[in-house]
Amino acid sequence: MTFLSRVLLLLLALAPLGAGAATPAALVEGRDYQLIANPGPFAPLAGKIEVVELFGYTCSHCAHFEPQLDAWVAKLPADVRFTAVPAAFGGHWDAYARAFYAAEQAGAPKRSHGDMFRALHEQRSLPMQNVSPDELAHFYAGYGVQLQRYLDALRSVEVEEKVKNARAFALRTQVPGTPTLLVNGKYLVKGRTFEDMLRNAEALVARERAASPRR
């Protein structure tokens, strides 16, 4: 057998392996995602594919996930809308859910979101339990938010309504904990690692896009 023949045989033998490696494994219901029994997006889709993260500022897993998630969100295509939804499970969860929505209403910059995780889990500059309105207001004052403006937002009807909506969404979708990703309010994303979760979320986004050819 000539040298060229041996090379051709080797390439033919390797070709199926390469093709198999390039093909992602099919998603498996129950392992990679769970169908939501009472589906529906958090907000009207308006032509977008919705990815929601249900998170809690006091959740250490959410804190570890945040940098990786932030990098992933930054690369999402234009037809995908990412929405962070705070978990309102009662007690300190509700306090920090209000903190999140008040920050949005008062115009706090986006970077304060990641910094809140660091304040709680690394710097320990805010308490996990029984955080006061003044403590929250002074935290966001570091981002140029006026103290009274933040306090007014924290106590507003609008913020309370948003917390109620977040709680209702978590109850309806039966989110088991945080962090959790949901696609179009139809799929609850699962995975053994954060990498698994993001990979499965991408595949589910692609599935929704394929189901709507007009996108």
Q: Is the pTM of this model over 0.85?
A: yes
Ordered per-residue pLDDT tens for the chain, 215 residues: 554 444 334 444 444 433 333 345 699 999 999 999 999 999 999 999 999 999 999 999 999 999 999 999 999 999 999 999 999 999 999 999 999 999 999 999 999 999 999 999 999 999 999 999 999 999 999 999 999 999 999 999 999 999 999 999 999 999 999 999 999 999 999 999 999 999 999 999 999 999 986 54
CATH of 26-209, one of 3.40.30.10, 2.70.180.20, 3.40.50.300, 2.60.40.420: 3.40.30.10
In angstroms, the CA 14 to CA 193 distance is 30
Report which of 92, 58, 88, 90 is spatially closest to residue 162, judged by C-alpha positions: 88
Task: Concatenate the DSSP letters of all residues of 2-13 into one string.
Answer: -HHHHHHHHHHH
Q: Where are the domains of the chain?
A: 26-209
Contact 112, 143 (CB under 8 A): yes
Structure tokens at 197: 């979760």
Task: Concatenate the DSSP letters of all residues of 91-134 into one string.
Answer: THHHHHHHHHHHHHHHT--THHHHHHHHHHHTS--S-SSS--HH
